[in-house]
């Protein structure tokens, strides 16, 4: 199974990718993780990426593509993979398809986990992080025993700048602007399945499985 998972921030894409990867015994390939690993390992690509990040710039497509291509060439990805957080735009999608084609492969499916904007705002702006141990909470879905205090270490919880409502609304705007053309692209190729991202994690997983396998026994 060669699958791309798309979805707005807060849609639980990473969690779903992880569960599906474990179920099928194939790797979850998350561009953010690859980037962090490259930086951590101080690889050539990692050092190049740090150069952009230090200047406050986005890591260019070309570099991200190189990391993805390198990862997909590894042995464990030979029989399949789940791409999470990539591609983000049509240009990346086309480069991905070209790279796969060179290896005699192609994508099987693209699943977009759909979530209303207001639900995204609610999910993300409610997140709280511990200043000390980085444990994560949610004021509605996973509140700490005592408001504003970490259950694990007793330190103060705060809202990351990325999670503030205004920032989230901006992230959603950017997400739609780049993702709409991407969804159209994959729809034209007959690869796209859209799945409702509301509800419990296991419910969403069942919907994804049904969409991917065409088998509704998961209902």
Nearest residue (CB) to Zn ion, 154 versus 199: 154
* Contact status, residue 198 vs residue 119, Cβ threshold 8 Å: yes
Binding residues for Zn ion, total number by CB under 5 A: 8
CB of 155 to Zn ion, least distance (A): 5
Nearest residue (CB) to Zn ion, 130 versus 191: 130
Which DSSP category does 11 fall into? S
Residues in region 136-155 near Zn ion by CB under 5 A: 150, 152-153, 155
CB of 145 to Zn ion, least distance (A): 12
* Contact status, residue 171 vs residue 9, Cβ threshold 8 Å: yes
* Contact status, residue 207 vs residue 195, Cβ threshold 8 Å: yes
CB of 134 to Zn ion, least distance (A): 7
74, 160, 173, 180: which is the annotated catalytic residue?
A: 160
What span, in angstroms and rounded, lies between the C-alpha atoms of 44 and 212? 36
> Does 133 sit near Zn ion (CB under 5 A)?
yes
User: In which element (H, E) is residue 113 found?
Assistant: strand 109-114
**For Zn ion, which stretch binds (CB under 5 A), given 6-14, 60-68, 75-83, 122-130?**
122-130
What span, in angstroms and rounded, lies between the C-alpha atoms of 132 and 168? 24
Sign for the CA dihedral angle at 46, 51, 57, 60 comes to negative
> Does 177 sit near Zn ion (CB under 5 A)?
no
CB of 133 to Zn ion, least distance (A): 3
Q: Which residues make up the interface to Zn ion (CB under 5 A)?
A: 130, 132-133, 135, 150, 152-153, 155
């Amino acid at each position: 199974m060669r699958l791309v998972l798309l979805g707005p921030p807060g849609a639980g894409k990473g969690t779903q990718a992880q569960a599906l990867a474990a179920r099928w015994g194939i790797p979850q390939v998350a561009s953010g993780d690859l980037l962090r690993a490259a930086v951590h390992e101080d690889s050539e690509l990692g050092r190049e990426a740090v150069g952009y990040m230090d200047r406050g710039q986005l890591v260019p497509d070309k570099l991200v593509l190189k990391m993805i291509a390198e990862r997909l060439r590894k042995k464990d990805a030979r029989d399949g993979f789940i791409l999470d957080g990539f591609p983000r735009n049509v240009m990346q999608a086309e480069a991905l398809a070209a790279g796969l084609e060179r290896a005699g492969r192609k994508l099987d499916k693209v699943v977009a986990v759909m979530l209303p904007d207001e639900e995204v705002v609610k999910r993300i702006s409610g997140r709280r992080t511990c200043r000390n141990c980085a444990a994560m909470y949610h004021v509605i879905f996973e509140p700490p025993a005592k408001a504003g205090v970490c259950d694990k270490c007793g330190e103060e919880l705060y809202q990351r700048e990325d999670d503030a409502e205004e920032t989230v609304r901006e992230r959603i705007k950017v997400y739609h602007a780049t993702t709409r053309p991407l969804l159209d692209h994959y729809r034209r190729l007959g690869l796209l399945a859209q799945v409702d991202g509301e509800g419990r994690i296991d419910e969403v997983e069942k919907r994804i499985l049904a969409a991917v396998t065409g088998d509704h026994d998961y209902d």
